[in-house]
A and B are shown apart, each in its own frame.
Chain A
């Protein structure tokens, strides 16, 4: 009979309740809070990283990243769907939703990040010659040159690309140096990823290229925004960020997710399950009875229970 009472229109005592007045008061109070918080704390707005600022601040990282794009060893080059088929991507047990999504944003890392923009920005005959040498080489040779050069940068003193050991790196040093020079001059920002349109609102290529380097992550970690620093829910400065993502971010901090190669897919799978559970709470036995067992409702409706003791 208890459910019957809840499903019937209330026939008991009523009290005056002015919904419009309540909304107006709420608007006044919330408005005052918004203004006070905005005046007191403002909002974060750290400048974005450009290809130019990256190339100037961390030239060796830029060059090493460009070499990894040429060699097919960068994060994007080996990513898998939706950018390419270099890998199958992450799985949830036997289910591979990433592969199911398909390669819908195709990216040939070497072409998109290095050779195509270089062909657009460089008029240096030496670079043209290097590009010809690169184009004329086999894929294996290209990978060896780029891989060896990347390794040499890693082993160089301070990881400085200008101090690499002598070796056969083919045209890679010339190409990456030319790309670095154009980036430092600021000409690469308007070229990389540009599909030939006058207008552009899609920064997929530039962002993937920047994210393939370590500079972006270094800056983020310095602001405590790393994945293992609850970074997904935070933002620069001491702002609350997306605190509502705390549960999503939490799973990345604990095993088995924190060390799994399929962490993203597993966390997403788990969160989708929990989200479904949250939405259908009214139909989940036990969970839907928790409010009856833990009497927080006695506090919420204390006036009613006091006026109507059993």
Chain B
């Protein structure tokens, strides 16, 4: 028996346990499949990946904005344009995500032990709302002043404002560019892994393909 065979059968290290667990749950053909069930044909499926594409543009434009700091876009036409791409990426991101969410609702996509996929998707939406909100209050312009001074009342009324002070630019800036993107990124990865793990939910009242009689009659 070789060392490889021994570790493959029964890992003795933490690393080995992690590898077996991960690749046992996500074998390459499951993580990056080349086929999907026959029912994956609707346009509604596009909105999930469109949301991720918009998120990539949000992160990219946000990273460019961080290069010159939060005040750059006030005085630079290039900075203002990059800020515009950041804004419109966010608008499209939410548009795609809301369509994606409604699509998943009408598909009852939580069926078949997929509740965690729905829940992580819901948390993605909520975290995105929070991340976008911190972006609005750190714009260092009139909008930021008004939104922050109005929003503080809601947050204060339930005790959150005592810790999450929307009038504190430094705190909001760091929430927006570091903390919340990390949390959101982590949940998005988790959500996508769950989709890959459980596969795309079959249609409501789908005919069981293993039932040869019914399937044969149907086709």
A280 to B115, alpha carbons, bound, how many Å? Answer: 8
| CB-CB nearest in chain B for A211 | B149
A11 to B139, alpha carbons, bound, how many Å? Answer: 51
- Interface digits, B3-25 against A, CB 8 Å rule (1 contact, 0 not)? 00000000000000000000000
Interface of B is mostly: helix
A235 to B136, alpha carbons, bound, how many Å? Answer: 9
A38 to B82, alpha carbons, bound, how many Å? Answer: 8
A246 to B14, alpha carbons, bound, how many Å? Answer: 48
Q: Does A16 contact B (CB under 8 A)?
A: yes
Contacts of B208 on A, CB cut-off 8 Å? 1, 5
The answer to whether B112 and A268 have CB atoms under 8 Å apart is no
Minimum distance in angstroms from A221 CB to a CB of chain B: 10
Contacts of B170 on A, CB cut-off 8 Å? 201-202
Contacts of B182 on A, CB cut-off 8 Å? none
- Size of the B side of the interface (Cβ < 8 Å), in residues, is 101
Minimum distance in angstroms from A63 CB to a CB of chain B: 20
The answer to whether A46 and B88 have CB atoms under 8 Å apart is no
Minimum distance in angstroms from B145 CB to a CB of chain A: 5
Report which B residues bind A (CB closer than 8 A): 32-42, 44, 46, 49-50, 52-54, 56-57, 73-74, 80-81, 83-89, 91-92, 94, 96, 98, 103, 105-108, 110-115, 118-119, 122-123, 126, 129, 132-133, 136, 139-151, 153-163, 165, 167-171, 173, 199, 201-210, 215, 218-219
**Those 5 A-B pairs whose CB atoms lie nearest each other, nearest first:** A6-B112, A201-B170, A101-B159, A12-B209, A101-B162
A102 to B170, alpha carbons, bound, how many Å? Answer: 22
Q: Does A265 contact B (CB under 8 A)?
A: yes
Minimum distance in angstroms from A95 CB to a CB of chain B: 9
Q: Does A254 contact B (CB under 8 A)?
A: no
Minimum distance in angstroms from B23 CB to a CB of chain A: 17
Minimum distance in angstroms from B191 CB to a CB of chain A: 13
Contacts of B33 on A, CB cut-off 8 Å? 17, 19
Contacts of A240 on B, CB cut-off 8 Å? 91
Q: Does A198 contact B (CB under 8 A)?
A: no
Docked complex: A31-68 residues within 8 A CB-CB of B: 31, 33-35, 37-38, 41-49
* Contact A202 to B169, CB < 8 A, known contacts A41-B84, A242-B133: yes
Pick 20 A–B contacts, CB within 8 A, sort by A: A1-B208, A6-B112, A6-B114, A13-B37, A17-B33, A27-B53, A30-B89, A34-B89, A48-B145, A103-B162, A105-B165, A201-B168, A201-B173, A203-B168, A265-B157, A278-B122, A296-B106, A297-B203, A303-B42, A308-B218
A169 to B73, alpha carbons, bound, how many Å? Answer: 46
The answer to whether A47 and B141 have CB atoms under 8 Å apart is yes
The answer to whether A216 and B106 have CB atoms under 8 Å apart is no
| CB-CB nearest in chain B for A20 | B32
A310 to B219, alpha carbons, bound, how many Å? Answer: 10
